[in-house]
Amino acid sequence: MKKLLIVIEHLPYPLNSGGKKAQFDFIENHRNIIDITITFVLKNKDQKYFCDFL
DSSP classification of residue 12: -
- State which residues form the domain around 42: 2-53
Cβ burial of 47 (10 Å; 0-12, 13-18, 19+) is middle
How many Å is the maximal CA-CA distance in the chain? 34
pLDDT of residue 2: 94
- State the CB neighbour count (10 A cutoff) for residue 11: 21
pLDDT of residue 49: 65
Q: How far apart are CA 36 and CA 45, in angstroms?
A: 24
Per-residue pLDDT of 2-54, as tens digits, reads 999 998 887 777 788 888 899 889 989 999 999 999 888 777 676 666 666 65
Per the structure, the count of domains in the chain is 1
pLDDT of residue 10: 76
β 34-39/2-7 pair status: parallel
